[in-house]
């Protein structure tokens, strides 16, 4: 489970990095439109990042509910 979570976090970071690259690269406007094609690619990459983040959050909640993962926080002292 830990490996899957780490892989999902790496995929989220990769989607964010690709959106940043699309934002920084100069793009050629498509013919007949004033908006460059890079904006759509950047929006898709950011939408993918948001989707992956939500899916990972829901997976962690499901894994906790099913007992696949256990909290291991610092114990409280009284």
Q: What is the pLDDT of residues 18-59, one digit of tens each?
A: 999 988 877 666 665 555 577 788 889 999 999 999 999 999
pLDDT of residue 32: 58
How remote is the C-alpha of 49 from its chain's centroid? Answer: 3
pLDDT of residue 41: 86
Stretch 58-68: mean pLDDT, rounded?
Answer: 94
Total count of domains within the chain: 1
Give a yes or no: residue 20 inside a domain: no
pLDDT of residue 31: 64
Give a yes or no: residue 55 inside a domain: yes
Give a yes or no: residue 14 inside a domain: no
Determine the Cα–Cα distance for residues 26 and 30; give it in Å rounded to an integer.
13
Give a yes or no: residue 62 inside a domain: yes
Q: What residue numbers bound the domain in which 43 lies?
A: 38-68
Give a yes or no: residue 10 inside a domain: no
* Inter-CA distances, 64 with 17, 36, 42, Å: 29, 44, 33
DSSP helix/strand/coil, 77: coil
Determine the Cα–Cα distance for residues 42 and 61; give it in Å rounded to an integer.
29
Compute φ and ψ for 6, nearest 5 degrees: -65, -40
Give a yes or no: residue 28 inside a domain: no
């Amino acid at each position: 489970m830990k490996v899957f979570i780490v892989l999902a976090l790496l995929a989220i970071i990769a989607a964010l990095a690709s959106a940043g690259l699309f934002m920084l690269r100069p793009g050629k406007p498509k013919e007949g439109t004033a908006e460059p094609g890079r904006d759509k690619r950047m929006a898709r990459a950011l939408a993918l990042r948001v989707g992956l983040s939500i899916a990972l959050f829901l997976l962690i909640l499901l894994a906790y509910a099913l007992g696949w993962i256990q909290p291991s926080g610092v114990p409280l002292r009284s």
